[in-house]
Structure formats: C-alpha cells, structure tokens
C-alpha cells in the first residue's frame, strides 16, 4: 500500500513538472563558445580600464572588472592585414602568409594550403562566423572567408574598402549586398583587380557599416546558441576613413557625436571618442545577448585591437593619450605599435577582477582554441595555448621562447621580445639594433645596446632565425626621418 502511495506521489510530481513553464534559454553545449572581438587601430591607452580619462568605455571596463585584463599581450603585427593573418594562422610574422598591407591581390590573400583557426574549430564541430573586416583574401581567391573555414561571413573582404563606413555594398558570404549609401566616384579607388570600387567618401549616408556588422553578429549568436560556435567580430572602429581625411580633413566617420557633442573639442576628436564609445556599447550588447540566452558561462569572450593607435583622418592621439605609457603607434615596432589591450571574459571560469602579466600574442589563438575544443593543435606553429591562464591556473602556463615581428614599410624593421628584453632593428635585417629593458623602461627611452653587446647579438640571432624569406615580400620605402619619442613608462591602470 505504501509503495502504491509513493507511485501516486511520483506520478503527480512528474505531471506538475511537465506542465510547468519552460525557460526559453538555450541548452549550453559541452565545448565552450568562443567570441573574438577585435577593434581596428585602438590604442593601448584608449580604454578606461587601461587608463583613458576622456573617452567613456563603461561596458568594456566592466568586462575587465568581471574578467581578466592582460598587460603584456601583443598584436600579430603593427598594421591590419598581417596582424589578422597571424591571428588566423598561428604563425608569427616571419612565417605567416600575409606580411603587410598591399594592393597586390596575390600578396594579400591566403592560399588553399593555409590552415586557419576557423578550419580547426569547424572540424571540431563548431559553427563558425566572421562579421566585419577580413583583409586577407580578395574576391576570386582561395583566401575568402567561406574557403578558410567560416560557415558565415558578413562584411568587408578588402581592407581598403573598410575605410568607408558608408560603403555601397558589403559581402554576405559570396555575394555583394547593396546598401543605400552613395559614394562620390572621384574618391573611389580601382583596387587590386582594376575594377573594384573601394574606399571613397559617401555623399548619401544611410547604412552605417559598424551597426550592420554588429546586427549580423547578434543574429548569428541567436541562431547558433544551442551548438558550440566560434564568432570572430572584426570591427572597423576606430580606423579612420583615410579618403575622407584627405578630402575634407575629417576621417572619423560616425552618425553622431553622442555624449561628446557639446565638448569643446575639435570635430575630429569628438568623432574619435564617439566611435570608441559606440564600439563599447556594441560590445555590451553582445555580452547582454549571451546572458539573455543563458550561455554566458559557457562562452569565452576576448576583446582586443589589431595594432596600436593611429594619427589618420585628423585624429589627435596625444589629446587622448592613446598609447598610455608606451612609445610609438601603428607602423612602429616599439611597444605602442604592437602591445594592445586584451581582455578575457568567461564567467565562472576566468577569475573575475584578475590581471595577468603573461606575455603572449595573437598567434596563440590557434593553440588556445585547440585546447578548449579538445582537439590536437597543428604542429610546427608559433602558438602557445593560454587556456591555463584563462582558467585561473597560471602555474601550468607555458611560455614562448620569444616573440617576433617584422614589418616591410618605411625601409622595414624587426623586433623581438625575450623575457624583460626587447630589441628593435631598423632598417630590416642589417640595420642598427636598439635594446630596451621593459621591466625598467616600459617607455623604451634608454637604448642599452652599447652596454650589453653580447645580449644584442643573442637577440639579433633570434631575429635572423625567426625570419623565413618570401619572394612576395620585400622592404619598401625609406626609413622614417623622425622616430617616435619615448613613452613615460608610467602605467595608467
């Protein structure tokens, strides 16, 4: 009799549970989702959590407070395309395919034999998407996103077209989607194929590309929430519209100045600040969507920038102290050109409010993704997983032997980071090498090369060994007449 009563109670309980309303949350997949958000030309000092005082970035600052802020993370390069190539391939600048920004179609595109982090994750069962700026695969080549591991793509193929925030079209997978903007023909470049309509300045401005890129990112998250996914959000903010800068002296394209409208600043500085705050709002929208779908605790979100800050389109980086304590900016291999803000947010896994001084760079995404997806990482790469650091296990974190960069514009230059030491050689391969101790001189103001000749030889040998020649890439231009002044080395955190 007692057994029968228990059965009645259990049956009643099951009936009650089956009739209860179900929360409309997505079931979290076993493998963590990965979202990599990258700004374009955002300086190390452009965010509040890295010391910025004039530009408001509350959502990214909160992301850092709730996650992990890295203080010694580096971009793949000091300009757009090669930095993105390093990120995708896990190979540093001495080994990767695209090593500069160029109009030459062959140089600017990945090949069939290149293997990207998107391909790795797709093979691991992830749905993959890119929204934003690609820059390493021209139309009609094997380098386009859908041939490099991405299931979905929306944005710009060509980085020069990405200068214009009001373009006439954006790509959706393999087709051009017309927008309502009208671009002045006299400002348009023919591009690498001789027939492309790239860049330019719009005379009719309706569709702001940043907002469209963000909408597509949010839509992908909604569609993919029940399966593991990889989303690469390659924002174009706050890169200047260089063509607008040359034509009208203002390349900071943004629909409005927002909270900066009444500031007693130049219109260019208002535009720069408004772009960054608009970007910050968008990052917040992504985080909010993850929480609304109840997948935030199973999603790693990384925010960073592709290289250092710029001085294009009328922007005044000194006004904003955009490189913080660092020397140099975009196109420099001093710290201001390659050290970037880097924030990881993974509730319940990455320790909240933590700061890491681990030395890593963009190429580490490949090994990290392989770790998180529980698949082997390809051999022979320049990639070290930062999963132990992200998971709060710094004692298990492996280190690079050294980090390496090379850059071909302005006569070329090389740099290597080895522990506390940093060497910069200009012009590339045979120029004079400068030596800095970053622990004592973060602003790279004191060249110690004469005091440590043996150490200079050691770091030069590292640079020589890291470089592999590629007939498509040769130094061009003349060295800059004036080198950037040293930073003050004082962290503004």
Name the residue among 26, 257, 264 with its Cα closest to residue 127. 26
What is the pLDDT at residue 481? 80
Please work out, in degrees rounded to the nearest 5, the angle formed at the alpha carbon of residue 112 by the alpha carbons of 470 and 170: 100
Strands across the sheet with 432-437, in order? 403-407, 413-418, 421-426, 432-437
Long-range contacts of residues 370-374, Cβ cutoff 8 Å, at least 24 apart: 370/120, 370/124, 372/31, 372/32, 372/34, 372/300, 373/31, 373/120, 373/121, 373/124, 373/125, 373/126, 373/228, 374/31, 374/124
**Which neighbouring-strand residues pair with 36?**
232, 302
The residue whose two tokens read 């009444």 is: 262
Local structure of 222: helix, strand or coil = helix
CB–CB of 91/79 below 8 Å?
no
Pair of tokens at residue 469: 């020649």
What is the pLDDT at residue 188? 86
Q: How do strand 421-426 and strand 432-437 relate by DSSP bridges?
A: antiparallel
CB–CB of 247/187 below 8 Å?
yes
The residue whose two tokens read 């032997």 is: 401
What is the pLDDT at residue 482? 86
Neighbouring C-beta atoms of residue 445, cutoff 10 Å: 13
Pair of tokens at residue 358: 């681990």
Alpha helices, DSSP H only, in 225-363?
242-248, 267-292, 317-320, 335-338
CB–CB of 420/437 below 8 Å?
yes
> What is the rounded radius of gyration, in angstroms, for the C-alpha atoms of the chain?
23
How much is the pTM? 0.93
- CA 101 from centre of chain: 16
CA distances from 291 to 5, 296, 322, 349, 441 (A): 42, 5, 31, 15, 41
The full set of domains in the chain, from first to last, is 33-400 (3.40.720.10)
Local structure of 322: helix, strand or coil = coil
Distance between CA atoms of 153 and 128, rounded to whole angstroms? Answer: 9
The residue whose two tokens read 């029968």 is: 4
DSSP letter (8 states) at residue 418: E
Local structure of 394: helix, strand or coil = helix
Phi/psi region, residue 116 (left: phi>0; alpha: psi -120 to 50; beta: rest), is beta
Q: For residues 143, 145, 148 and 151, what is the CA-based torsion angle, rounded to 10 degrees?
A: -160
**Which neighbouring-strand residues pair with 178?**
169
Please work out, in degrees rounded to the nearest 5, the angle formed at the alpha carbon of residue 301 by the alpha carbons of 124 and 172: 70
Contacts of 400 (CB under 8 A, 6+ apart): 359, 360, 361, 382, 384
pLDDT values of the chain reduced to their tens digit, one per residue, 493 residues: 444 444 444 444 444 434 433 334 444 458 999 999 999 999 999 999 999 999 999 999 999 999 999 999 999 999 999 999 999 999 999 999 999 998 788 899 999 999 999 999 999 999 999 999 999 999 999 999 999 999 999 999 999 899 999 999 999 999 999 999 999 998 887 765 666 667 899 999 999 999 999 999 999 999 999 999 999 999 999 999 988 888 888 999 999 999 999 999 999 999 999 999 999 999 999 999 999 999 999 999 999 999 999 999 999 999 999 999 999 999 999 999 999 999 999 999 999 999 999 999 999 999 999 999 999 999 999 999 999 999 999 999 999 999 999 999 999 999 999 999 999 999 999 999 999 999 999 999 999 999 999 999 999 999 999 999 999 998 888 888 889 999 999 987 7
What is the pLDDT at residue 277? 99
Contacts of 450 (CB under 8 A, 6+ apart): none
DSSP letter (8 states) at residue 102: -
Considering Cα of 39, then 44, then 47, then 49, what sign does the dihedral take? positive
- CA 168 from centre of chain: 25
Name the residue among 421, 387, 409 with its Cα closest to residue 480. 409
Angle between helices 267-292 and 58-66 (to 10 degrees): 50
Pair of tokens at residue 399: 């280190």
What is the pLDDT at residue 248? 83
Phi/psi region, residue 252 (left: phi>0; alpha: psi -120 to 50; beta: rest), is beta
């Amino acid at each position: 009799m007692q057994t029968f009563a228990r059965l009645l109670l259990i049956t009643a309980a099951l009936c009650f549970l089956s009739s209860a309303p179900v929360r409309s949350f997505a079931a979290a997949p076993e493998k963590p989702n990965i979202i990599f958000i990258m700004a374009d030309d955002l300086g190390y000092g452009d965010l509040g959590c890295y010391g910025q005082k004039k530009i408001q970035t509350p959502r990214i600052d909160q992301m850092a407070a709730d996650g992990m802020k890295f203080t010694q993370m580096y971009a793949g390069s000091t300009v757009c395309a090669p930095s993105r190539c390093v990120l995708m391939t896990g190979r540093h600048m001495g080994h990767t395919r695209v090593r500069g920004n160029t109009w030459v179609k062959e140089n600017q595109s990945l090949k069939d034999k290149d293997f990207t982090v998107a391909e790795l994750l797709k093979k691991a069962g992830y749905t993959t998407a890119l929204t934003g700026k690609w820059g390493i695969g021209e139309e009609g080549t094997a380098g386009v996103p859908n041939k490099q591991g991405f299931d979905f793509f929306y944005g710009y193929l060509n980085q020069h077209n990405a200068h214009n925030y009001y373009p006439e079209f954006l790509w959706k997978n393999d087709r051009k989607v017309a927008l309502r903007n009208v671009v002045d023909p006299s400002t348009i470049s023919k591009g690498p194929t001789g027939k492309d309509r790239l860049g330019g300045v719009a005379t009719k401005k309706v569709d702001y590309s940043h907002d469209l890129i963000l909408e597509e990112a949010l839509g992908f998250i909604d569609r993919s929430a029940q399966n593991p996914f990889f989303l690469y959000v390659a924002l174009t903010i706050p890169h200047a519209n260089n063509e607008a800068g040359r034509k009208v002296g203002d390349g900071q394209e943004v629909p409005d100045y927002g909270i900066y409208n009444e500031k007693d600043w130049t219109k260019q500085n208002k535009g720069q600040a408004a772009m960054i705050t608009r970007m910050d709002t968008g990052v917040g929208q992504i985080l909010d969507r993850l929480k609304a779908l109840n997948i935030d605790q199973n999603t790693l979100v990384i925010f960073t920038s592709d290289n250092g800050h710029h001085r294009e389109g009328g922007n005044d980086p000194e006004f904003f102290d955009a490189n913080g304590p660092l020397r140099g900016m975009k196109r420099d291999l001093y710290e201001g050109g390659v050290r970037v803000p880097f924030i990881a947010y993974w509730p319940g896994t990455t320790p909240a409010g933590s700061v890491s001084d681990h030395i890593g760079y963009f190429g580490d995404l490949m090994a990290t993704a392989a770790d998180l997806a529980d698949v082997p990482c390809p051999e022979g790469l320049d990639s070290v997983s930062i999963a132990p650091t992200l998971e709060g296990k710094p004692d298990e974190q492996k280190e690079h032997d050294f980090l390496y960069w090379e850059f071909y514009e302005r006569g070329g230059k090389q740099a290597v980071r080895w522990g506390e030491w940093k060497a910069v050689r200009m012009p590339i391969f045979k120029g004079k090498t400068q030596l800095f101790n970053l622990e004592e001189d973060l602003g790279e103001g004191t060249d110690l090369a004469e005091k440590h000749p043996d150490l200079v030889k050691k770091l030069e040998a590292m640079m020589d060994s890291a470089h592999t020649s590629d007939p498509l890439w040769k130094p061009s231009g003349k060295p800059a007449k004036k080198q950037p002044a040293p930073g003050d080395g004082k962290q503004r955190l």
